Amino acid sequence: MINDNSERYGSITRFFHWVMAVLVLQQFFKFADRINEGEHWLGDTFGPWHVSIGAVILILAVVRLLWALKQKPQRPINPGFDGVIAKIAHRLMYFSMLIMPFLGALYIHGKGYPVKVFGYELIGQPADEVPWALALGEWHSPFAFLLIFLVIAHIAGALYHHFIQKDTVLKRMIG
């Protein structure tokens, strides 16, 4: 079934969720640049794709948000306090997925480099550093920490529902 209903998420929502989960999780390998002054195989392997995949995440996040808004009236509802927390976490994750690509681009632009997506120069190289862009772009890292915290709490919540509460919260996102 393509659309969501009150019992479970439909195929399009599940497709967006799991494809984007993989894309977002691999973006976190960028944290590996902090190890050994950037000389780490994780950073070396995934680092070169970080900007291009970030751009794909942005496009998917916009389409997914529009889809989620359309599906909202018939989606599963999470009752109680847990549900309110889950809702806030989902919204913050959407916000992070939408804002982080812009902040990343501002960071690169601010540092005086061109922003290239799959080899195509999206924003040309500025003559010098761009302080206002750098000041905004420096928020990319705090958002990375916020998002990884949310994702860990989110996964823990899903596993708690599945293994401790033994309800259908995880199953309805799987199929």
Q: Is 25 in the site for ligand HEM (CB under 6 A)?
A: yes
Reading the block at residue 4, the tokens are 């969501």
Among 43, 110, 115, 133, binds ligand HEM (CB under 6 A): 115
Taking CB under 6 A as the criterion, the residue among 10, 26, 40, 50 binding ligand HEM is: 50
Q: How far apart are CA 157 and CA 164, in angstroms?
A: 10
Rounded CA-CA distance 151/32 in Å is 17
Cα gap 143→88, rounded to integer Å: 15
Could you tell me how far CA 12 lies from the centroid of its own chain? 17
Q: Count CB-CB contacts under 10 A for residue 140.
A: 20
Number of residues interacting with ligand HEM: please give it, by CB under 6 A. Answer: 44
Minimum distance of ligand HEM from residue 98's CB (angstroms): 8
**Does 136 contact ligand HEM by CB under 6 A?**
no
Residue 133 in contact with ligand HEM, rule: CB under 6 A: no
In angstroms, rounded to a whole number, what is the distance separating the alpha carbons of residues 101 and 53?
Answer: 9
Does 90 bind ligand HEM (CB under 6 A)? Our answer is yes
Percentages of the chain per state (helix, strand, coil), in multiples of 5? 75, 5, 20
Give contact residues for ligand HEM (rule: CB under 6 A).
13, 17, 20-21, 24-25, 27-28, 30-31, 33-34, 50-51, 54-55, 57, 68, 76, 78, 86, 90, 93-94, 97, 100-101, 104-105, 107-108, 115, 140-141, 144, 147, 151, 154-155, 158, 169-170, 172-173
